[in-house]
Amino acid sequence: EIVLTQSPGTLSLSPGERATLFCWASQSISSTSLAWYQRKPGQAPRLLIYGASTRVTGIPDRFSGSGSGTDFTLTISRLEPEDFAVYFCQQYGTSPLTFGGGTKVEI
């Protein structure tokens, strides 16, 4: 199975700063097969980006995704207070579907 490794495990930043989150795959995956999610305590996870770079309708444009092959990135250009959460990536190009371990973005 494809193992996704996310880095860093925790990112300590302040509102207004830029956050860069990484997701590395153990083997190459199609750029159309990588998604990013946000999860806040007590809430359902929310799909942010699919196809590595396509933002879901309603997701602010401060969220952007990029990458290909084995290296993918989620960037939050300017952190808002509501962005402090856990983010995880998922590959859906190969079964079994797999997820990364998550990056916690904290103040």
Binding site for another protein (CB under 8 A): 32-33, 35, 37, 42-47, 50-51, 56, 88, 90, 92, 95-102
Q: How far is the CB of 40 from another protein (least distance, A)?
A: 10
CA 2 to CA 5: how far, in whole Å? Answer: 10
| Least spacing, CB of residue 14 vs another protein, in Å | 27
- In angstroms, the first-to-last Cα distance of the chain is 34
Q: Could you give the count of Cα atoms lying within 13 Å of 43 in the half-sphere of its Cβ?
A: 13
Nearer to another protein, 14 or 95 (CB): 95
